Amino acid sequence: MDGGLRYDLTVPLSRYYANHANELPSPFKALQMGNVWRADRPQRGRFRQFMQCDIDILGEPSNLAEIELILATTALLGKLDFKNFTIRINDRRFLKAMAAYSGFKEEDYDSVFITLDKMDKIGLDGVAAELKGNGYAEESVEKYLALFEEITNDVEGVRLCKEKLQGYLAPEAADSLEMIITSVESQKEAEFKMSFDPTLVRGMSYYTGTIFEISMDEFGGSVGGGGRYDKMIGKFTGQDTPAVGFSIGFERIVMLLLERGYEVPTSKPKKAFLIEKKLPQEKLLEVLEEARKEREAGRQVMIVNMKKNKKFQKEQLAEQGYTDITEVYNG
């Protein structure tokens, strides 16, 4: 019997939704963390087993889902004191429209996109050489790469695509992407840049619309990403359901934090009150009030009745991390 390790959290979430859609709210917002596996060559920030932290919105067809997910993810990164990172954003419909405009056949799109995905490593000239080496017409390759030289990485670039790709790109795709970029820019909490990147491909073939990645200079690559996958749930139910997800690589974020001297917060100081049995209510209320103040000061507090073997009880509490143990007696 063949078996395999879990590749991502998106497919299991889709199967769960497909089985429980009638019991879940719409839209359904999910947050999950879990280990996934890749057949990668281990290196800095890249592991064969790692933890993904995902947020998804299922059942929302509008770009409100993308806007909410990007704002939530970037707000988190801002609270971790990450600054000046970039959210690269594109849309699979743009990729297909640009390929069609340039004269590539639809059956060749995936192969063309695999080469395009290497743009940041081999540059325009490298992409051109590989596409021509794969047998594609020089005219199509030249027309294709000319687009990337002309398109800017902002909303003006999106508008240029809308104008230049008329007949190939649905106008609503461009309008939606522009709205996502401008809405996030106006409402963002963290310091980061939204960048329209027409070379962004994302390797998952299940994406159907918007795709995005988080790039950080100190890592030299992506530390998270996601996109819209409106067709996946329909593979289980026969009825398509709009869905968008954003994922962060836990280990990469932690690695970057540690490299810049971030100290992992320690557990809260622990204090225990050992109270004598049958303590008068007045005395008990005093203990409860002091415990409340201690908790407000950030300490973890436990109130427990004193046992006959007090010495052993205190040793047990000490093993559990209670460094401050106060005995309270009647009188």
pLDDT digits (tens, 9 = 90+) for 254-291: 999 988 888 766 678 899 999 888 888 888 898 899 99
What confidence score (pLDDT) does residue 36 get? 86
CA distances from 83 to 87, 187, 189 (A): 12, 16, 11
Rounded distance between C-alpha atoms, residue 231 and residue 243, angstroms: 8
Beta bridge partners, 273, equal 303, 326
Checking if the pLDDT of 43 tops 80, the result is: no
Rounded distance between C-alpha atoms, residue 321 and residue 302, angstroms: 11
Mean pLDDT of 222-243: 93
What confidence score (pLDDT) does residue 1 get? 60
| pLDDT higher at 18 or 204 | 18
Tokens matching residue 222:
């992506």
What confidence category does residue 123 fall into, taking pLDDT thresholds of 50, 70 and 90? very high
DSSP structure string for 95-126? HHHHHHHHT--GGGHHHHHHHHTTHHHHHHHH
What confidence category does residue 147 fall into, taking pLDDT thresholds of 50, 70 and 90? very high
What confidence category does residue 84 fall into, taking pLDDT thresholds of 50, 70 and 90? confident
What confidence score (pLDDT) does residue 91 get? 97
Mean pLDDT of 129-142: 95
What confidence score (pLDDT) does residue 209 get? 95
What confidence score (pLDDT) does residue 140 get? 96
Mean pLDDT of 21-42: 89
What confidence score (pLDDT) does residue 109 get? 94
What confidence score (pLDDT) does residue 204 get? 67
What confidence score (pLDDT) does residue 113 get? 94
Instruction: Report the chain's mean pLDDT, rounded to a whole number.
Output: 91
Q: What percentage of the chain exceeds 90 in pLDDT?
A: 68
Please count the CA atoms within 13 angstroms of the CA of 226 that sit on its side-chain side: 26
Mean pLDDT of 103-127: 93
Q: Count the Cβ atoms, other than its own, within 10 Å of residue 292.
A: 11
Q: What is the pLDDT of residues 166-215, one digit of tens each?
A: 999 999 999 999 999 999 999 999 999 999 999 999 876 789 999 999 99
* Cis before 280? omega within 30: no
